[in-house]
Structures are given as C-alpha cells and as structure tokens.
Amino acid sequence: MRVRSGRTIELLLILLAVGIVALAYANVNLAAVGRLPEHAWWHVAGFGGLALTLHLVLRWRARYADPLMLPIATLLNGLGLVMIHRIDLVSAPGGTSGVADRQLIWTGLSVVIAAAVLILVRDHRVLRRYTYIAMAAAFLLLLLPMVPGLGVEEYGARLWIRVGPFSFQPGEVAKIGLAIFFAGYLVSTRDALSLVGRRVLGLQLPRGRDLGPILVAWLLSMLILVLQRDLGASLLYFGLFVAMLYVATERTSWIVIGLSLFLGGALLAWQLFTHVQSRVTLWLDPFAAGQSDQVAKGLMGLAHGGIFGTGLGEGYPYLTYFANSDYIIGSFGEELGLVGLFAILLLYALLVERGLRTAIGAREGFGKLLAVGLSFTVALQIFVIVGGITRVIPLTGLTTPFLSAGGSSLLANWIIVALLLRISDHARRPVSERRQNESRQNESRQTRTTEQEVGR
C-alpha cells in the first residue's frame, strides 16, 4: 500500500505562502511610499527559492515529514520580513534602514543551516548520544554574554554578544540544547522520577534526592534572572523543563512542585528587583504616571487597528518602541487588526499542534520528549510575549518566533522546525519502509532502540 507523503500539498502551500508574502510586500510599499520596492522580484524570488530549497531537501531526505510545518514557517518568516521592511520605510524615508535586508540574509543563513540539520541528522535519535554535550553547550551559550569584552548590555539586560558588526543572542539557540538535554536525561531517569516516592494528599511526591534536577533547573533560571535580568528567558527555560518533566513522568506532582517553585521565585524576584516591580506596575496599570509608556503605546496601537486594522502600511506601528522586534505582534495587530492577529495566532497554534501530533506519533521516548519540548517552547514563547503585549501577564522582552527582527531567534526557530520535521518524518514513515531503512543500520544500535521502545 502506498502512503501519501504530503509533499505535493506542501509544495502548493509553499507557493500560496510565498504568494501572500509577495502581495503583502507590494501592498506595504505602495501604501507607505506609493511605489513598488526596488528589486522586488529578486527579493521575492530569493525568498521563495529558499523555501523551495528546503522543500527539495525534504523530498530527498525526509519524504514523510509533516507537510504543514514548512509552509507555516515560510509564511510567518515572510510576513515578519514584510513588517520589518514596513518599519524600515519609516525610519529612513525614501530608502531603507537595512534591518529587513539583514533579516533576509539571516533567513537565507537559517534555511541553509536548517537544511544542513536535515541532511546531517538523518535520524534524530543520534542526538541522544549528545545529551550531556548539549547541556554543556547550552550552559556555555547562556554564559557567553557574561564574558567581558564579548557580551554587551542593552536595555538593562545582558543577553547579547557582539563580534564586530554582528550581534547575537546565544540564549535563543541555548533552548534547543536544553530541550535535547532534558529529553535525553528524562528518558533515562523518568522511571526513578515517577515511580518512587510517597503519597501525600493524593499526590505522588518524589524522593528527596530525585528533587535534585528540578532544583538545579530552578536555580539556573533564577541565576539567569539575576545575572542577565532576563525575565522572559528565565520563565521560558523553567517552563520547558517542568512541561517535559511532566510528560516524561506523567506525575502531576511535578507540575505542582514546579509551579510552587516558580511562584516562590517570582515573588522573591518581585521583592528584590525594581525592574520586576515596574513590570508588574505597568501590567496592572499601563497608564500609570511616571512609568514607561511602552505597554500603553502598544495598547493604543492595537486599539487603533480595531477589528479590521488600518491596512498594511497605513497605521502608525512605529510609534511603539521595538515595533519590529519585541512588539511586532502589536504592529500586526494595528495594521491587520484583530482579524489579522487571529490569523497569525492560529498559524502558530497550528504549528504547535503539528509539533504535538509529531510527539504523539513518535515511536520512542526520546523523539516524543524532544518534539514536545520543542513545540512547547514555541507555544510558551508566543504566550509570554503576546500575553505581555495584551496584558494577560506582565510584559517581558522576548522575540516572536519567525516574525521578530533578529538573526539568533530566526536561526533557532528554523532549527526547531528542522528537528520537528526530522522527527515527524520518522513518526509518519510507513512501517514497511522503516524496516527496510533500519535494516541497513548498525546491528547493535537497532537492538538498543528496540529495547527502549519496549520499555514503555
């Protein structure tokens, strides 16, 4: 029986995505400066070419990969480019301030690296071998901004490194390393973490010595919060760990413990740090006198857009700070309205859903955990930044996956999509082909893998 790979649908959806992006690009330029952008065809062709290249790589190396992820990522990345270009048009009337050009170059680089990941990592299970190397690499990346002369502080947070003209936010890539490490570590230890322990008030509490890892993760997040003053990343890493721990052990107690630790930490941070206090004040009253008007301006931008938006290029998104990075969702909300914002959020929801489906379909624990972890970071990151802008939670500076200006974020999210595609190829591959494929592989490794699958 022949199984549909979905590659043809993927191709059609990519063409649709590129078409939407091309129209939006023309629209923004016509509305803002009254003419089509210079080299528009080259930009669109280059961008479409990148998406098609990845599509071809999938045909070659991951025939059964999920057919929706690549079109969604393409569309989001393209819309981000359009909005960044739109903000560029304002900061340098008649020309461009070049942020969009840089983003396009980063897009190219990210897609090439994503293709390399797909080509080099032919089976995601090999990543398990690098569990502790991934951890070390993640720690190293997280510490890089603290190195004198290399790290730079911007807007009160020490998250960037700068080499010559290039700045990079290593934390964005570190979360992939952390997801690999958590997946590898939890697959090996989940039995110990889930089965042993006492029952108290209907909760299966873990043994004291098994609490170690979660305490370490918590301390690490607090350390990031203190040293780098990055609320968003701290929340992201800890949330990632707790979610993966819960999925691995199926013990609700971990969520209770994790949430208590988080709330305790948050309360402590609120008491100790003035920058946390001002975020909370702004969350409760964005128009409080004497405070930053960032949230207020963002809200007024969203309100200005209303339900149908002002139309691309016809609002004033640039009146909000970080209109092309942290607040890019606000920019979309203003120019595309509530309708556009819903569309974008649903695209993200769909992407996350495909990731979770991949996790459910994955046939072994490591792939399951990795897919869950990667999908959940995307979901959590969107919740934290969009929730900050829409006042669901206090605002913390985070990039919006695929949309925000910033090379490190783009690179990290394309790698995440590449890994999810790789796992989904494995998960969706028909049994007949899988046997055929695996018979070619090393005898001892196959035995080991099969043992693991039997484990649960």
Partner 1 sequence: MNTPIRRLAVVIFVMFTALLMASTWIQFVQADDLRERADNRRTLIDTYSRDRGAILVDGTAVARSEPTNDELRWLRVYDSPNRYAHITGYYSFIYGAGAGLERTTNSLLAGTDDSLFYQRLADVLTGRPATGTNLELTIDPAVQQAAVDALGDRRGAAVALDPRTGAILAMVSRPAYDPNALSSHNLTAVEQAYEQLAADPERPLVNRAIGGDLYPPGSVFKLVTAAAALESGDFEPDTELEGPLTYTLPGTSTDLPNFQGAACDPEGRPTLAVSIQVSCNTSFAWLAGELGADALREQAEDFGFGQALEVPLPVTPSTYPAELDEPQLALTGIGQHDVRVTPLQVAMMAAGIANDGVVMTPYLIETLRGADLEVVDQTSPRTLSRAVSQSTAQELTEMMTMVVQRGSGQLAQVPGVEVAGKTGTAEYGAQGGAHAWFTGFAPADDPQIAVAVIVESATDNWTGETGGVVAAPVARAMLQAGVDR
Please report, as ranges, the residues that interact with partner 1 according to CB under 8 A: 90, 93-94, 243, 246-248, 250, 287, 293, 296-297, 299-307, 315-316, 319, 333, 337-338, 341-342, 345, 348-349, 352-353, 356, 359-360, 365, 368-369, 372, 376, 379-380, 382-383, 386-387, 390-392, 456
- Residue nearer to partner 1 on the CB measure, 248 or 257: 248
- Residue nearer to partner 1 on the CB measure, 273 or 383: 383
Count of CB atoms situated within 10 Å of the CB of 65: 31
Could you tell me the smallest distance in angstroms from the CB atom of residue 150 to partner 1? Answer: 35
- Residue nearer to partner 1 on the CB measure, 50 or 127: 127
Per DSSP, the residues of 84-153 read: HHHHHHHHSTTS--SHHHHHHHHHHHHHHHHHHHHHH-SSGGGGGGGHHHHHHHHHHHHHGGGSTTTEEE
CA dihedral (240, 241, 244, 248) in degrees, to 10, reads 180
Could you tell me the smallest distance in angstroms from the CB atom of residue 413 to partner 1? Answer: 17
Could you tell me the smallest distance in angstroms from the CB atom of residue 230 to partner 1? Answer: 21
Tokens of 376: 């959940």
Q: What is the DSSP letter of 92?
A: S
| Amino acid (1-letter code) at residue 66 | D
Could you tell me the smallest distance in angstroms from the CB atom of residue 220 to partner 1? Answer: 22
Could you tell me the smallest distance in angstroms from the CB atom of residue 123 to partner 1? Answer: 20
- Residue nearer to partner 1 on the CB measure, 227 or 307: 307
- Residue nearer to partner 1 on the CB measure, 135 or 338: 338
- Residue nearer to partner 1 on the CB measure, 310 or 409: 310
- Residue among 177, 286, 268 at smallest CA distance from 231: 268
Tokens of 306: 């209303």
- Compute the radius of gyration of the chain from its Cα atoms: 22
The whole-angstrom separation of Cα 323 and Cα 331 is: 6
Tokens of 138: 């993640």
- Residue nearer to partner 1 on the CB measure, 108 or 361: 361
Could you tell me the smallest distance in angstroms from the CB atom of residue 250 to partner 1? Answer: 5
Cα 72 vs. chain centroid, distance in angstroms? 13
Could you tell me the smallest distance in angstroms from the CB atom of residue 303 to partner 1? Answer: 3
Phi–psi pair at 163, nearest 5 degrees: -125, 110
